Structure formats: structure tokens, C-alpha cells
Structure 1
Amino acid sequence: MKHYAGLDVSLKETSVCIVDETGAICCEIKVTSHPEDLVQTLKDPAWQLVRIGLEAGPLSQWLFSGLVEADLPTICIETRHTKAFLKARVNKTDRNDARGIAQMMRVNLFRPVHVKTLASQRRRALLTARKLLQEKAIAIENDIRGLLRNFGLKVGVVGTVGFDHRIRELIDDLPELGGIMEPLLAARQKLRETFMTLHRKLLSIVRKDEACQRLMTIPGIGPVSALAFISTIDVPARFRSSRAVGPALGLTPVLNQSGESHRVGRISLCGDAMMRALLYEAAQVMLSRVKKWSWLKAWAMNVAKRRGRQKAIVALARRLAVIMHRMWSDGTEFHWTKESMSAAS
């Protein structure tokens, strides 16, 4: 008889529910959230497991990799789809969630999620750590500005390099205030140094990656955006077409249709928020800072005339994602004119 398993993962323990092909519960147990413990439970010869489902979450990649290495038919399922399915249950408990996921596996009603390769996970960790240090350093700078403003000291417009000198210049005649600012400046300096260490590591990876180098031929796309796109998409072949990348990154409008009502809302904001923000920034850079004209910038400017600048930026961000995926798949570089595109094809 075929069996199906649902795993509701938490930090310490995972609720496991195994059902047969008729939907009857065969086993319910709590196991330590570790691949070895789960494999030991699920590898029992009594179970002929066809599908094992676990919801995407902080531990899902680690557990998924361990279960797949043990030749268990594991599927990582989409979080929002799972929550919508489990809402039908009145009481939300770990046991009920595991039961629901097991039934989803049995009736084949789920949406699988791509689990990234280990290399992409490492790159993503680097990007996240780099961004975290940058945000903390900026937060300290803003706090310093706010504290000094209470004493009538205005920092003004100053770059990252000259920030320390400007603060010390303002508090030069105020030793008591200097004793408060110095620890904050030291913490900021340490954050900036650590940030630059990770940034140099990121640049080293990008220099050795051919795909990143090709993506950087697009105006507005720098090392961070290129590496983030590579680590987010992971495997370009998992998309049937390049146009599917836009919806996957939450850059397409939400459609709400019912009877005579037909509303087109804002972008869905699904998928990777960091990548979406980087594409939005790249679109802004292309429209405002890149001086050299290209067919893509001309297209975006025409959209801005018809629909407004804000919608043009979002549309350009979506098109950038499509172009980047196509360039990565084809191994081509960015063409500045449509004539060069025709010649290349």
C-alpha cells in the first residue's frame, strides 16, 4: 500500500504524520528537527512512501537536502498555498498541520518550491550579511545625526569617508558630547570595515563568474545585482520562459476578477524582496543616471510618458529580470541597439 507523509517543522521538533492511500492515519510522531532523526523514522520498511511534504521555511533547505540524500521522495511546498489549504481546519496545531500536509501529498494538491543549490545558498548568505552590516552602519549614522541635532549641530550632506571627520569637527569643543559620540563612531567604523571585507569577497566572486560578467553589461546592473540575480534564480532552466521570471519576483500586477468586476492592482510583491528591490534600483539608475541611450531606456522613457515615471520604473525592473534571464540562458551580452540585436540573431 502507498503511503504519504507530512512534516510540520519547528525549531526543536518536527511533527510527522503518515497516511495511506485511503487517507487513514497510520502514524503520528514527533521527531527532533534533524535530517538523521527524520530519515530514521521515515526509512521504516513498514512505509512505502510515495511523497513526503514539508513547508518552505528557515530549516526546510537543510532538512530537504538531508532527506533527498537518503533517497526519500521529498517535496518542499509553497508556504502561502499551504496556509490557504490548512485554513479549513478550525484548530491550528502542529499535529493538525502535519495531517493537512500529509493529505495534500496524498491528493496531489500542492505547489512545489525550488530548493536552491548549496552554492546559491552560500552566495545568498553573503549578500544578506553584507546588507545587514550596511543597514546597521547607516542606522548608527542616522542616530548620530539625530543626537547632534538636539544640540543644534547639523551634520549636513557628507559622504561615507568624511563622516567621522565631520562629526569630530562638530564636537571638538564639546568634550562631554565627544565621550558619547566616540563609542558610536568606533562601532560604525568597525561595521564599515567588516562590510568592506564582505564586499571585497563579493567582488572576487563576481570577477570569476562569467554569467555575472555578462549580466553587468546591462546598464544599471552592478556586481551586487548580478550576483543576487544568479543566487536567486539559481537554475535558469527551471523557468519555462524568461517572461515567467517577472511574476516569480513579484513584479506583475495582481488581477482581481469576479463577475462584472475586473480590477488590476499593484504588483504582487511575491518572491524575493531583496532581488525585487535591486531590480527597482537598477531601473532607477538606468532612467536617471545612465547617460548613454539604449533601446531599453528609450522604451522605458516612452512608458513614462504614457503611464508615469513610477509605473515605468516597475515595468523596466520587470523587463530587466526577463532580459537578464534570457542573457544567462543564451550566453549573450546586452545589445545597446536593436540593429545589433538583429545582427547577432
Structure 2
Amino acid sequence: MIIIGCDYHPSFQQIAWVDTEIGEVQERKLMHADGEAERFYRQLTGPVRVGLESTGNCHWFVDLLAEMGQEVWIGDAARIAAKQVRQQRTDRRDAVHILDLLIKNDFPRIWMPSKQERDQRQLLIHRYKLVTLRVRVKNELQHLAMNQGMQKGRKLWSQAGQKQLLELPLAHWAGMRRQDLLELLKKLDQQILVLDHAVKKAAEDNEKARLLMTQPGVGPITSLAFVLTIGDASRFQRGKQVASYLGLIPREYSSGGKQRLGGISKQGNRFLRMLLVEAAQVAVRYDPKFRKQYQHRCHYKPKAVAKVAVARKLAIRLFWMLRTNTKYPEVVRIESSSRVALAE
């Protein structure tokens, strides 16, 4: 078997590899643009295992190795770096270090979504980016209206509000700006509507997403994002691990027997964390248990903190729904503590 430690960069990669039958370690730098890297991997015979740190802009490379039938291991970059004692880091040393972890079976491998799951993630991200652009366009139009003394808030987007906006007497370039922004807003609305239908269809076609949508406050976007981010729920033994994975647990700076907790860690998927907080605001209106917990925390905590606490509870409940394949409201009766492992 050939084992390869790869220090990946967008334009090149530094590799260190060993044939387990021979035991000799070799090193090489492979360029991407001229196809040198692809030619090298295609000429390899027999079983091949390639390990690299989790990094961006490497999907083409991972897909290429999968197409060749070679085994790809993606590792936690922070844990790989923590295992390296020396403070002097180079591409060659990083590649040899990854190879050493693979040989010792100490490589911190992480879960990776499939190609289809990555593509569905792009659907959600694309919609989110367009919605963000639409908000910016609306804010610019609100600014134009308020500069003319018209303050209507969200009523500006009603038919009457749009008519008043068009009738505002503006100077030449301000009028051009209004016209362009309104055309851009119309185009964004059309594009987002198409993506909304696509997300709804993808969620309805996904059995796990349909299960999560039985929870009040969780719609197609949140359910699909949760399924695509969590992946195989069995890789988590406790709900607390899911909350930590999503960055919904507090930072901790405890020492000398004194516990010090800060704000949430904000590690993990920022997009899903935002969706969970939004979903939590709806869940507290329709879910009695969440509403009680939210109102209780509001007595001694700011509302923003209470919302995040409910988002954490919601994430744990969604995890248990996936883990036990149980719909709402049945999951409420069997919902386990976040600190208790699920019995196999």
C-alpha cells in the first residue's frame, strides 16, 4: 500500500509518501496548473491512501482521487498542528508530519460530505448570499426615501409604498440610482423565488429533512442545512457534542478551581448557527417547552442570550430526532439529557 501525506496549497502541493512494502520515504513538489499532480496520482498502482488537512479550494482534488478509486482522508487542521512539537514549520515538514500521523494511525480524520451534499450546500449558500444582497438593496432604497422625508419602514415594500417611492421628486443621479436599485431588487426577488422552490423540493425529497420539519419553527432551509451539516448523526454520542460542534456552548477559562464561562465559542458552521437562532425565535411561540425555558431565562438574562440558549436546545432536539428517527411531538417525551449518552 502507498501512503501519502499531502500539504495542499491552491497552486501546488508538497507530498511525502512511502510504499509499505519497501519502507522508503520519498518527497516531491507537484504543480497543479500543468497537470503534474494529476499525472503523478494516475500512474500509481495498487491501494493508495492520501491524507491532507481540511482546507478550502481542494474539492477538485478530492473528487479526482475519488474518481481514481484512491482513499482520501481529510484531517482536522488544528489537531494536526497541535501534534507537531517543533516551532519551525515548512511545507516539507508539514507533509512528512502528516505522513507520520498516517503511518502511526494517529491521523485525526474528520467526516466529509459527499459530492451531492456539497452541491446542495451551495444551493443554500447561494440563496443566503442573494438574500443578503437584497437586504442591502432595500436598505439603500430606504435611505433614499428617508432623505426625502418619507419614513415607512417595511410598508415601503407594499404596493402603495412602492408607488410613493416612484413618485418621489429626486435629482437626476439620485433618480437613476432609484431606478437601478428597483430593477436589481426585482431581479433578486425572481432569483430568490426560484431558489426557494429548489430548496423546498430538496428538503421534501430528503427523508431526514422531512422528519425535522415536523418540529415547529423548522422549515425547509433550516432542516436541510442541519442534515447537510451534521451528516451521520451516529458520529455524535451526546447532544452536548452537537452543541459544541455548532459553537453553541460557552467559552471556558477555568483555572485554580474557579470556573469562568464566557460567550458562546462560535466555532463550527456560522450559517447553520444563524438559522438555528432564527428558528428558535419561531419555536418559542409554538413549542410550550421552549417557550417556558425562554420566558424563564428572560427574567435574569438578556433576550439575545435567551434566544441562543433556545437555539442550543433546538439543535440538541433535532439531533435526537435524527438519532432516534422520531417525529415531533413524540420526541419530547423521549428526549434525553445532553449529558447522557444514547444507549446502543
TM norm structure 1: 0.81
- Judge conservation of contact 2:212–2:327 (CA < 8 Å) in 1: yes
**Alpha-carbon deviations, 1:189-238, whole Å to 9, x = none?**
11221111111111122233332232122121122111111111122222
Give the structure 2 partner of residue 74 of structure 1. 72
Could you list the per-position Cα deviations for residues 111-163 of structure 1 after superposition, in whole angstroms to 9, with x for gaps in the alignment? 22211022221211100000111111111221233345445554533264546
Counterpart of 2:233 in structure 1 is 236
- Alpha-carbon separation, structure 1, partners of 2:28 and 2:246: 37
Q: Give the Å deviation of 1:36.
A: 9.1
Gaps of 5+ in 2: 337-344
Matched, 1:135 2:132: yes
Q: Within 1, Cα distance between the matches of 2:215 and 2:316? A: 12
- Alignment partners' CA distance in 1, 2:230 and 2:93: 33
SS of the residue corresponding to residue 262 of structure 1 reads coil
Q: Is the 8 A contact 1:39 1:70 kept in 2?
A: no
Alpha-carbon distance in structure 2 between the residues aligned to 1:216 and 1:142 = 31
Supply the RMSD in Å over aligned alpha carbons: 3.4
Shift of 1:25: 4.8
Q: Distance in 2 between matches of 1:176 and 1:69?
A: 54
1:183, CA displacement in angstroms? 1.4
Pick which of 73-82 and 121-130 moved more.
73-82
- For residue 298 of structure 1, what is the aligned residue in structure 2? 292
- Which residue matches 2:168? 170
CA distance in 2, matches of 1:107, 1:338: 44
Q: Note the 1:1-345 alignment, pairs <5 A.
A: 4-18=3-17, 25-32=25-32, 37-38=37-38, 40-41=40-41, 44=44, 51-85=49-83, 88-91=86-89, 93-154=90-151, 156-158=153-155, 160=157, 162=159, 164-171=162-169, 174=171, 177-287=174-284, 290=285, 292-305=286-299, 307-335=301-329
Q: CA deviation at 1:84?
A: 4.1
Structure 1 245/166 Cα, relative in aligned 2: closer, same or farther at 3 Å?
farther
Whole-Å separation in 2 of the counterparts to 1:3 and 1:204: 43
Residues of 1 paired with 2:164 and 2:84: CA distance? 56
Q: Kindly, what percent of the aligned residue pairs are identical?
A: 26
Q: 1:271 to 1:183 in 2, by over 3 A?
A: same
5+ residue gaps, structure 1, are none
Deviation of residue 87 (structure 1)? Answer: 8.3
The amino acid that maps onto 1:168 is: L
CA spacing shift, 1:334–1:33, aligned 2, 3 Å: farther
State the TM-score, normalized to the length of structure 2: 0.82
Deviation sequence 1:253-296 (CA, Å, 0-9, x none): 22233444532222221111111111111112223xx2x45223
Give, in angstroms, the shift of residue 83 of structure 1: 4.3
Q: Secondary structure at the residue paired with 1:29?
A: strand
Rounded Cα–Cα distance in structure 2 between residues aligned with 1:197 and 1:249 = 29
- When residues 156 and 174 of structure 1 are mapped into structure 2, their CA distance, relative to the original with a 3 A threshold, is farther
Preserved contact between residue 141 and residue 188 of structure 1 (Cα < 8 Å)? yes
Distance 2:84 2:155 in 1: 52
Partner secondary structure for residue 257 of structure 1: coil
Deviation (angstroms), 1:90: 2.9
The one-letter amino acid paired with 1:282 is A
Distance 2:310 2:16 in 1: 46
| Matched letter for residue 309 of structure 1 | K
In structure 2, what is the Cα distance between the partners aligned to 1:159 and 1:189? Answer: 14
Rate the CA distance shift 1:165–1:200 in 2: closer, same or farther, 3 A: farther
Give the SS at the match of 2:326. coil
Question: What SS does the aligned partner of 1:14 have?
Answer: strand
Residue by residue over 1:82-127, the C-alpha shift from the partner in whole angstroms, topping out at 9 and shown as x without a partner, is 3445684335x44443333333334444422211022221211100
User: Aligned letter for 1:27?
Assistant: E
Q: What SS does the corresponding residue of 1:30 show, helix, strand or coil?
A: strand
Is the Cα contact below 8 Å between 1:7 and 1:52 reproduced in 2?
yes
